[in-house]
DNA sequence: AGGACGTTGTCGCA
DNA sequence: TGCGACAACGTCCT
C-alpha cells in the first residue's frame, strides 16, 4: 500500500506549520506524509456532572479553541497540498494500527530533542536541584543557542498525503458533533479564536503597536452593549470615544508600524491594567503558545528584533521576553520537582492547614462571594476562559491565603479546566506562588478585593460588564455594594442579599486571621524543616479553628451587647 | 553568618 | 506620584 517510505507527524500540541521541527523532520526525504490528529472521545465528550459546560477535563471554551486550531491547521496544510487526517479513538491504539497499516517508517511528534534543550536539561538539573528563583534560573539558562539562528517559518509545499487504506478519516468535528448543544450562546463564547493564523495575526498586531486582533470587530459589539447597558454613564461614553479615536489613529498611522513598537519595548507586566477588557493590557498570546499555534522561539526572535531597533527597552522579568522566560522557568522547576502539583510529598511546597470549606469554595468558583471585583473576574473566567494576569492574582490570593483559606489545589483545578491557556507547569507554579506555598513567601502582602480593582477602574466598568446585575449601582458603592443604603439599592434594582449576595467573609477580619494562620503554619514548617507530618498539620488545623471559634464567640457577644445598646438607644 | 534581593500590597501622608 | 511604615518571609551569594 505504501510506496517508498512514508512518515507520520502526530500533532498533539504544536498545531502550526511555522517553525515546527517535528514537521520539518517528518517531511524531509519522504514520499508520503501522514499529518494526523487523534481525537480521544473520552477527553472530548461532554461531562454533564462537571461544574461547568465541557468535558471531564476541559471547559467548553478550550475545546472550542482546540477545534478552531485544528480547522486552521487543516486549512494551512491544504494550502501546501496536504491535509489533516483526523482519527478517533484511544490514541495509543489508533496510532499503532495506522503505523502498521500505512507502513510508516518515521513517526515524528513534538519533543524537545534539540541539543539546546538537552544541554539545558543537563545544566538546569543543577545537581538535581532546579532553580527556585527567576534570577538563578536566568543564570543557569543563559541565552538560547537558537536565539539568532534562522527558523523555518514558511514553506511552499509538503509531501503528498499517503493512501489511508481502510482507516476511517474524519473532518475536524464541530462542537455539535461532539455532543455539545446550545453552543452558540453568545454569553459563553470567548472572544479569542483559535489557530495559527490568528496567532500570527495577533503577534503582528502586538509587534506593530496595533490594537489586538479582532478588537474593532469585537469593539462594535461592546460599544453597542455598553451604551445600551449604561446609557446614563457619561464617563464611560467619554472613555469609549477616546479609545475609538486611539484605534483609528493606530490604524491610519503609517509610521514604521510594521516593525517598531513602543508598546513592546516598554512592556512592564506589573503595570498592566487588569480591568481592561475591550483592549487587554497584555498580548493574549498565551493560549496560542499553549496549543503551539505560535512557536515560542519565533515569538522570542521577533521580540529580540524589536529590541534591536528601539533605543530603550524593559528587561526580564517584567518585559515581554521576560514573560517567555517565566514560562521556561516554571517548566524547568516543574520538570525537576516530584509531586510539583500537590502539597503532600512536595519538596518545595509549604505544608499549610488549609480549611475544607466547600461552601466558601463553591461561592468563589461560581462568582458569588459578594465582592464584585472578585466575582466579575470569576465570571470572565467562565465566559472568556481568559483574565489578565493580575486579575488571576486577586482571585487566587482571595481563595487561599488572603481571605477564604481554601486549598490552592482546588482553585488550581478550576483554572486548569476553564482557562483556554491553562498550562500544567505554569498554572501549578502560579498557584504555589500566590498561595505563598513556594517561590513567594510574603504572606503579609494581600490584595484587597476592594481597593485593588478600584485604583484601575474607579467607575467599575469591568464589574458592570461582567456582572450586569450591578450595572446601575452608583460608582461610590460598586466595589462594596453591601454598604449602599437600601434606597440606593432599590433604585439600582439590586438588593444585596437577594439580587446579589452579601460578602461571604469580612475582608478585614478574614485577612487578619489568614495572616495569623500563615504565621503559625510557617513556624511549624520551620520547626520540622519542611517535613511536617500529617498529624502535626491536622493538630495545627484543629488548634487554629478552635481559637478562631473562640474569637468569633467573643465577637458575637460583643455584637449582641452592641445590639442591645443600640436597641435601647433607639427606644429612647 | 550576614546581607541583598525578590515581576506586580495597602495605607496614610506629603 | 512617590515615599515610608507596616512586619517580615526564604533563597542565594558572599
CATH of the domain at A49: 3.40.50.620
Residues A137 and A1 in one domain: no
Give the containing element (helix H, strand E) for A106.
strand A106-108
Residues A460 and A375 in one domain: yes
Determine the average pLDDT of the residues in A136-141: 88
Residues A20 and A47 in one domain: yes
| pLDDT for the residue A570 | 59
Q: Report yes or no on A210 lying in a domain.
A: no
Name the 3-class secondary structure at A418: helix
| pLDDT for the residue A140 | 85
Q: Report yes or no on A29 lying in a domain.
A: yes
| pLDDT for the residue A235 | 26
Residues 6+ apart with CB under 8 A from A434: A392, A393, A396, A397, A400, A401, A408, A440
Residues A493 and A481 in one domain: yes
A445: the nucleotide nearest its CA (via C1') is B9
SS3 for A40-53 is CHHHHCECCCCCCC
pTM of the predicted protein model = 0.89
| Amino acid A250 CA to nucleotide B10 C1' distance, rounded Å | 37
Please give the protein residue whose CA is closest to the C1' of the nucleotide C10: A441
Please give the protein residue whose CA is closest to the C1' of the nucleotide B9: A445
The number of residues making up chain A comes to: 572
**Nucleic chain B contacts, protein chain A, residues 442-501, CB cut-off 7 A:** 442, 444-448, 450-452
Q: Is the pLDDT of residue A118 over 60?
A: no
Quote the CA–CA distance of A363 and A374 in Å, as a whole number: 11
% of chain A residues with pLDDT over 70: 84
| pLDDT for the residue A330 | 94
Q: Is the pLDDT of residue A218 over 50?
A: no
pLDDT tens figures, A351-410: 999 998 999 999 999 999 999 999 999 999 999 999 999 999 999 999 999 999 999 999
Range of the domain at A265: 114-150+258-336
pLDDT tens figures, A48-79: 999 999 999 999 999 999 999 999 999 999 99
DSSP conformation class of A317: T
Q: Report yes or no on A277 lying in a domain.
A: yes
Q: Is the pLDDT of residue A563 over 80?
A: no
pLDDT tens figures, A394-429: 999 999 999 999 999 999 999 999 999 999 999 999
Residues A409 and A512 in one domain: yes
Residues A323 and A469 in one domain: no
Match 496510532 to its residue by C-alpha cell: A95
Q: Report yes or no on A407 lying in a domain.
A: yes
| Amino acid A445 CA to nucleotide C6 C1' distance, rounded Å | 10
Q: How far from each other are the two terminal CA atoms of chain A, in whole angstroms?
A: 99
Average pLDDT of chain A is 86
% of chain A residues with pLDDT over 90: 67
Quote the CA–CA distance of A380 and A390 in Å, as a whole number: 13
Q: Report yes or no on A495 lying in a domain.
A: yes
Q: Report yes or no on A68 lying in a domain.
A: yes
Q: Is the pLDDT of residue A246 over 60?
A: no
**Nucleic chain C contacts, protein chain A, residues 503-542, CB cut-off 7 A:** 519, 522, 525-526
The CATH number covering residue A330 comes to 1.25.40.80
Please give the protein residue whose CA is closest to the C1' of the nucleotide B8: A270
CA A11 → CA A67, A86, A497, distances in Å? Answer: 13, 10, 50
Beta strands in A89-166 (DSSP E): 106-108
The CATH number covering residue A426 comes to 1.10.579.10
Bigger pLDDT: A218 vs A315: A315
Q: Report yes or no on A424 lying in a domain.
A: yes
| Amino acid A169 CA to nucleotide B10 C1' distance, rounded Å | 59
Bigger pLDDT: A399 vs A154: A399
- Nucleotides on chain B that have an atom closer than 7 A to a protein CB are 5-11
Residues A520 and A443 in one domain: yes
Q: Is the pLDDT of residue A112 over 90?
A: no
Radius of gyration of chain A (CA): 26
| pLDDT for the residue A25 | 93
| Amino acid A505 CA to nucleotide B14 C1' distance, rounded Å | 34
| pLDDT for the residue A236 | 28
Domain count, chain A: 3
Which of A87, A112, A137 finishes a domain? A112
Quick one: pLDDT band at residue A102, thresholds 50, 70, 90? very high
Residues A12 and A68 in one domain: yes
Residues A376 and A506 in one domain: yes
Residues A463 and A407 in one domain: yes
Q: Report yes or no on A566 lying in a domain.
A: no
| pLDDT for the residue A310 | 80
Residues A324 and A399 in one domain: no
Quick one: pLDDT band at residue A553, thresholds 50, 70, 90? confident
Stretch among A173-187, A268-282, A475-489 having the lowest mean pLDDT? A173-187
Residues A300 and A393 in one domain: no
Say if CB A109 and CB A22 are below 8 A apart.
yes
Binding residue positions of A for FAD: 282-286, 323-330, 421-423
Amino acid at each position: 500500500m505504501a510506496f517508498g517510505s512514508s512518515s507520520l507527524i502526530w500533532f498533539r500540541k504544536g498545531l502550526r506549520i511555522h517553525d515546527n521541527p517535528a514537521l520539518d523532520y517528518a517531511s524531509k526525504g519522504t514520499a508520503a506524509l501522514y499529518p494526523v490528529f487523534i481525537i480521544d472521545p473520552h477527553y472530548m465528550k461532554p461531562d454533564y456532572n462537571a461544574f461547568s459546560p465541557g468535558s471531564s477535563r476541559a471547559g467548553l471554551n478550550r475545546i472550542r479553541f482546540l477545534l478552531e486550531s485544528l480547522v486552521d491547521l487543516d486549512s494551512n496544510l491544504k494550502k501546501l497540498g496536504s491535509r489533516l487526517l483526523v482519527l478517533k479513538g484511544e490514541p495509543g491504539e489508533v496510532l499503532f494500527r495506522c503505523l502498521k497499516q500505512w507502513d510508516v517508517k518515521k513517526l515524528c511528534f513534538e519533543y524537545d530533542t534539540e541539543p539546546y534543550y538537552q544541554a539545558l536539561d543537563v545544566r538546569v538539573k543543577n545537581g538535581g536541584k532546579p532553580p527556585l528563583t527567576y534570577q538563578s534560573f536566568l543564570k543557569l539558562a543563559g541565552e538560547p543557542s537558537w536565539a539568532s539562528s534562522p527558523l523555518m517559518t514558511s514553506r511552499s509545499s509538503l509531501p503528498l498525503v499517503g493512501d489511508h487504506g481502510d482507516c476511517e478519516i474524519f473532518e475536524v468535528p464541530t462542537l455539535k458533533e461532539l455532543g455539545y448543544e446550545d453552543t452558540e450562546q453568545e454569553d459563553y463564547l470567548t472572544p479569542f479564536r483559535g489557530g495559527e493564523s490568528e496567532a500570527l495575526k495577533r503577534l503582528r498586531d502586538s509587534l506593530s503597536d496595533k490594537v489586538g486582533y479582532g478588537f474593532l470587530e469585537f469593539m462594535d459589539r461592546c460599544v453597542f452593549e455598553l451604551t445600551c447597558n449604561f446609557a446614563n454613564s457619561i464617563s464611560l461614553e467619554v472613555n469609549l470615544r477616546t479609545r475609538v479615536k486611539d484605534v483609528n489613529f493606530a490604524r491610519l498611522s503609517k509610521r514604521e508600524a510594521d516593525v517598531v513598537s513602543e508598546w513592546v519595548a516598554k512592556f512592564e507586566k506589573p503595570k498592566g491594567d487588569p480591568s481592561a477588557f475591550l483592549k487587554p493590557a497584555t498580548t493574549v498570546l498565551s493560549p496560542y503558545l499553549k496549543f503551539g499555534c505560535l512557536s515560542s522561539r519565533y515569538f522570542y526572535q521577533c521580540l529580540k528584533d524589536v529590541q534591536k531597533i528601539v533605543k530603550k527597552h524593559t528587561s526580564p522579568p517584567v518585559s515581554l521576553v521576560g514573560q517567555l522566560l517565566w514560562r521556561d522557568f516554571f517548566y524547568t522547576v516543574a520538570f525537576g520537582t516530584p509531586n510539583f502539583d500537590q502539597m503532600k510529598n512536595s519538596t518545595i511546597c509549604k505544608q499549610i492547614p488549609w480549611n475544607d470549606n466547600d461552601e466558601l469554595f463553591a461561592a468563589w468558583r461560581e462568582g458569588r462571594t459578594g465582592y464584585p471585583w472578585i466575582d466579575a473576574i470569576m465570571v470572565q473566567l467562565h465566559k472568556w476562559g481568559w483574565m489578565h494576569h493580575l486579575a488571576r492574582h486577586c482571585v487566587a490570593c482571595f481563595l487561599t491565603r488572603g481571605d477564604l483559606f481554601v486549598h490552592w489545589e482546588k482553585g488550581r483545578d478550576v483554572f486548569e479546566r476553564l482557562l483556554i491557556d491553562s498550562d500544567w507547569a505554569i498554572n501549578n507554579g502560579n498557584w504555589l506562588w500566590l498561595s505563598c506555598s513556594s517561590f513567594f513567601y510574603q504572606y503579609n502582602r494581600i490584595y484587597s478585593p476592594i481597593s485593588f480593582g478600584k485604583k484601575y477602574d474607579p467607575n467599575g466598568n469591568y464589574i458592570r460588564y461582567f456582572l450586569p446585575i450591578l450595572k446601575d449601582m452608583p460608582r461610590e458603592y460598586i466595589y462594596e455594594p453591601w454598604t449602599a443604603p437600601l434606597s440606593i439599592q432599590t433604585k439600582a434594582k439590586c438588593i444585596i442579599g437577594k439580587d446579589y449576595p452579601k460578602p461571604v467573609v469580612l475582608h478585614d477580619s478574614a485577612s487578619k486571621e489568614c495572616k495569623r494562620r500563615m504565621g503559625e503554619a510557617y513556624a511549624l514548617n520551620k520547626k520540622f524543616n519542611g517535613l511536617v507530618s500529617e498529624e502535626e498539620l491536622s493538630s495545627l488545623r484543629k488548634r487554629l479553628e478552635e481559637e478562631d471559634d473562640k474569637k468569633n464567640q467573643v465577637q458575637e457577644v460583643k455584637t449582641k451587647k452592641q445590639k442591645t445598646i443600640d436597641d435601647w438607644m433607639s427606644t429612647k
